[in-house]
Structure 1
Amino acid sequence: MRIAIAGGTGTLGSHVTTELRSRGHEVRVLSRRSPDHPVDLTTGEGLEAALAGCVVVDATNASRNASAVLVEGSRRLLAAEAAAGVGHHVCASIVGCDQVPLGYFKVKADQERVVAQGPVPWTTVRITQFHELVAATLAPAGRWRLLPVPNARPRMVAVAEAAGGGRRHRRGGAAPGGVEVAGPEFADARQLARTWRKTTGHRALLLPVPLPGRLGQALRNGVLAAGRPDVQGVTPFGAWLAARP
């Protein structure tokens, strides 16, 4: 199968690329930096020519101008897919994004709506927070020997394990409503911070940070953790962290 991966050089996209190539698929990596299929979601440049004959996986991320890239970019991507005759669009998203009143999560929820209302049959693969993201967030704080910890209950998963989450839907037809991918364990943020501190050897003080309003309630209620995921990772955060070089 020929599969085009938008954002194929990013954290998730690069793992999806590796996983699909290992299974014998022909993979096209789409990004502004791609030497073979350079595309720009903010303008639509290069899209239609790169999509012919493909299933499309959108693993795009954006730390800046997120709405322009993920929402408006999805509209351009879907329009180009329709013109190229693409029969299946897979959108990587976030578990609970429609319940967290925070900027990036709102953008991801808007992106999901654009996909659901678009012209191409679709599947949304919602994924919980990545081990890699938590470790990258804790590391700078640890250097100051102070770890701000909100009252939250995530259910993290390793990127490499999440990358195969939508595999059966990429092989088959679209599945509106999508699938959820989560890690193997529920843990609160304090447990995760303690695990990180013990495993890395950092001597840092845990500082509880109360989050007020709807955001605090959402995180306390565990909206970032899938209750009954369709696909479940196998590596807990502590084991993943200990295995890192």
Structure 2
Amino acid sequence: MTSTPATVLVTGGTGTLGSLAVPLLREAGRDVRVLSRHAREAADGVEYVAVDLLKGEGIDAALTGVDTVLHLAGGPKGDDIATRNLVRAARTAGVRHLVYISVVGADRVPLAWLRSKLDAERTIAESGVPWTTLRAAQFHELTLKMVQTMAKMPVFPVPGGLRLQPVDARDVAARIAELTLGSPAGLVPDLTGPRVYGLGDLARGYLKARGKRRPMMPLRIPGKAGRAYRAGDNLTLAGADTGKRSWEDFLAERVG
């Protein structure tokens, strides 16, 4: 007699990455429970439960019958707190695999939100719950939002030395779903896009796709963060896995 696979609990299941990863888990035959700030009716075989990770409310009940947690929820503040609350409940519930999405450069770039990501990584690694962490590069969607915002200015600011390896969220979703369905693997190779771009290159590609022109003005990012970006600390130039879809492919779909 074949046992039914236990439920996968997904935080951030309605976000950019979660909305792509959840269907992949369903296609693999797993029951999925998504944490949401507000209760919702089940849809497409996915259960939604109201939980506040920052306050730690509702987590214990949400983990009933769960053996794997995919932690995708994140924001500019509070990732470390939310992760501590989740880990505490997962340990109590006997979760057997906790999978986390982090950011390339979390251990090297001195920005507050990246420090919170690194703190979350450490909380998971020291939790006693078997774990897997994947660090991904900046998604194409976020890169597009950034250049769209800058393109609204009469002059496009280009921070000198800033390079990015934007990765397609669909490639990240495929990898994180694969890791979730597999065994705990610790810190796995980073996942980046197939090319490294200067911000000016990304801007020119976007402006060309939109049929726009903007003069570009070089800027210097000050302080420790500026030195880290100029040194390429936000990049993984060796040993990373790479996605298939390029920035140009993404622009053609979204803008061109």
Task: Please give the TM-score of this superposition, normalised by the length of structure 2.
Answer: 0.88
Superposition map of 1:173-188 within 5 A: 173-188=183-198
Q: Does 1:102 align with 2:111?
A: yes
Q: Match of 1:145, as an amino acid? A: P
Aligned to 1:90: 99
Q: Does 1:136 align with 2:141?
A: no
SS at match of 2:190: strand
Aligned to 1:18: 23
Number of aligned residue pairs: 241
Q: 1:240 aligns with which of 245, 250, 254?
A: 250
Partners of 1:166 and 1:179 within 8 A in 2: no
Superposition map of 1:199-210 within 5 A: 199-210=209-220
Partners of 2:11 and 2:70 within 8 A in 1: yes
Partners of 1:79 and 1:119 within 8 A in 2: no
Aligned to 2:61: 49
When Rg is computed on C-alpha atoms for both structures, the one with the higher figure is 2
SS at match of 1:11: coil
Aligned to 2:163: 153
Give the deviation of 1:187 after TM superposition: 1.3
d(CA) in 2 for partners of 1:33 and 1:14? 16
d(CA) in 2 for partners of 1:8 and 1:78? 17
d(CA) in 2 for partners of 1:226 and 1:26? 34
> Are the structure 2 counterparts of residues 168 and 229 from structure 1 closer, same or farther at C-alpha, using a change threshold of 3 Å?
farther
SS at match of 1:179: coil
Aligned to 1:219: 229
What RMSD over aligned residues (CA atoms) do the two structures have, in Å? 1.7
Q: Match of 1:49, as an amino acid? A: A
d(CA) in 2 for partners of 1:242 and 1:5? 31
Partners of 1:78 and 1:119 within 8 A in 2: no
Partners of 1:153 and 1:221 within 8 A in 2: no
Q: 2:74 aligns with which of 56, 61, 77?
A: 61
Task: Please give the TM-score of this superposition, normalised by the length of structure 1.
Answer: 0.91
Q: Deviations over 1:15-65 (max 9, x none)?
A: 2112222333221111213423111101221112222323101101123xx
d(CA) in 2 for partners of 1:216 and 1:40? 35
Partners of 1:94 and 1:129 within 8 A in 2: yes
Q: Report the identity percentage.
A: 35
> Are the structure 2 counterparts of residues 25 and 146 from structure 1 closer, same or farther at C-alpha, using a change threshold of 3 Å?
farther
> Are the structure 2 counterparts of residues 26 and 128 from structure 1 closer, same or farther at C-alpha, using a change threshold of 3 Å?
same
Give the deviation of 1:229 after TM superposition: 4.8
Partners of 2:17 and 2:169 within 8 A in 1: yes
Segments of structure 2 that go 5 or more residues without pairing to the other structure are 41-47
d(CA) in 2 for partners of 1:204 and 1:17? 39
Give the deviation of 1:230 after TM superposition: 4.8
Q: Match of 2:73, as an amino acid? A: T
Q: Deviations over 1:47-86 (max 9, x none)?
A: 12222323101101123xx13xx11111110111112111
Partners of 2:162 and 2:230 within 8 A in 1: yes
Q: Match of 1:4, as an amino acid? A: L
d(CA) in 1 for partners of 2:28 and 2:241? 18
Aligned to 2:43: none
d(CA) in 2 for partners of 1:172 and 1:30? 21
